[in-house]
Each structure stands twice: as C-alpha cells, then as structure tokens.
Structure 1
Amino acid sequence: VGLAYWAYQENIKTQNALSQTEELQRDIGAARARLSVLRAEWAYLNRPDRLTDLVNLNYNRLHLTPLQAENFGTIDTIEFPYDNAFPLGELSDLVEVANREADQ
C-alpha cells in the first residue's frame, strides 16, 4: 500500500512538472514573438532616412549634426586628476586578485 501511495505521489509530481514545463514553453514562445515584433519596430524606427528627416526637422531646437571622425578625441585629450587628488592616502597591504581558471 505504501509503495502504491509513493508511486501515485510521484505520478502527480511528474504531471505537475510537465504542465509547468508546457506553460513555460508557451511563455517562452510568447516572449520570443514579442521580441521579434520589438526588433522589427526598432529596425523600422532606426531607418537612416527616418532619422535624417528627424534631425532636419528638429535641427533648430537640438542642433544635431552627423557624427564625423573629428567628433572623437584621443586618450591624450582627457584630463586625469592629480595623483594626490584622492583622500585615500597611501595604499598598503594590497592583495592580488586573479582568476586561476581563466589561465587554463
């Protein structure tokens, strides 16, 4: 009798797990469908001709200009703080941290 009860309980647990799995599969399918729609909308909204029209339409308010190589700088143009700008003082008892598994 005990073995039959155990088998019945396991059967119920298995059926519940299967129904949860089916529900999750449906949710995943719905999420993938939503994602594909969002990707299509994103591609549509980011068409170069549409963005160019938006820039031209809002130029007077936003002064948007196309990106060019001159818009980017080099690391030499960035100002870094002085060495003594941080109130930490002198660092001591430093510990080296490494991922030994990444070396393999």
Structure 2
Amino acid sequence: MKSFAFVLSILAVMGLAFWAYGENYKTQRALSEVESLQGQIGQLRETRAVLRAEWAYLNRPDRLADLVGMNFASLGLVPLAAVQFGRVEQISYPRPDALPSELQLGPITGAVTVSAPANAPVPAEDMLIP
C-alpha cells in the first residue's frame, strides 16, 4: 500500500510538472503577444501624431486664404468678417396676418400639457404649437 501511494504521488508530481510546463509556455506566448500589441499601439500613436501635425499644417489660415484666392473664380468664397453677422433685432419676421390661413393660429384657450410620462399617449389637440 505504501508503494502504491509512493507511485501515485510521483505520478501526481509528474502530472503537475507537465501542467506547469505547459502553463509557463502559454504565459510566455501571451506576454510576447502583449508586447507585440503594445508595439503596434505605439506605432499607431506615432502615426496619429504625424497625421495630426499634417492636418494642422494643411489647415493653416494663411494657406487656406491662399487657396481661396486661387480658386475664387470657381468657388466664389470670401473671408468671414464681423460685418457679415447681424443681430437678432435685424431679422425681419413675417407679420402674423401675412401668413397663409393654415399657418395662422389663434390664442390658446385650453390647458396645455407640459410634461407627461414617457409611455402616456398625447392627445392630438395638445400637440399643436402656437
């Protein structure tokens, strides 16, 4: 019985050694793969930095102004200036009586639903916007 236990323990140690050997190689393979991926990530980051620098170089305001000048005949682009923007008071809104009859809305006479649960149906008369 003692020799059986001794042989069994030797087989168990050999089995565990074989398992540990396999795990060691799996771990080394995974570490080399991680190292390879980190190298690829570094190369992609470097490429991204170069592309960002090229984009910044190509989008220089003086270069874009020169391109606009060279292509003015075909594109008709002009530089933006502050005088091209207006104030809200300068916007001419149509008079309410000048709107077509289907767009003219009367005063609000009933209650208006401001909020409701997400799954609650909204009556059609509450969906009108004045």
1:44 to 43, 53, 57: 57
Question: Which structure 2 residue ranges, 5 or more long, are not aligned?
Answer: 1-13, 89-102, 104-117, 121-130
| Counterpart secondary structure, 1:65 | coil
Q: CA deviation at 1:24?
A: 0.5
Cα displacement (A) at 1:9: 1.2
**Length-normalised TM-score, structure 1:** 0.65
Residue 47 (structure 1) shift:
0.5
The whole-number CA distance in structure 2 between the counterparts of 1:11 and 1:71 is 69
| Amino-acid identity (%) | 57
Higher RCO (CA-CA < 8 Å; seq separation 6+) = 2
Task: Provide, for residues 58-86 of structure 1, a one-character-per-residue CA deviation record: whole Å limited to 9, x for no partner.
Answer: 011011122356469x8xxxxxxx9xxxx
CA distance in 2: counterparts of 1:36 and 1:51, whole angstroms: 22
Which residue number corresponds to residue 78 of structure 2?
65
Give yes or no for the alignment of 1:5 onto 2:29: no
The residue that corresponds to 1:95 in the other structure is: 119
- Which segments of 5 or more consecutive residues in structure 1 lack a partner in the other structure? 75-81, 83-93, 97-104
CA–CA separation in structure 2 for the residues paired with 1:66 and 1:17: 56
Q: What is the match of residue 100 of structure 1?
A: none
Change (3 A) 1:65 1:71: farther
Report what 1:29 is aligned to. Answer: 42
Which TM-score applies when normalising by structure 2?
A: 0.53
- Alpha-carbon deviations, 1:26-64, whole Å to 9, x = none? 101111111111111111100000000000100110111
The CA RMSD over aligned residues, in Å, is 2.9
State the distance in 2 between where 1:5 and 1:67 align: 74
Q: Is residue 56 of structure 1 aligned with residue 56 of structure 2? A: no
Return the alpha-carbon distance in structure 2 between the equivalents of residues 29 and 95 of structure 1.
49
Computing the radius of gyration from Cα coordinates, the structure with the larger value is: 2
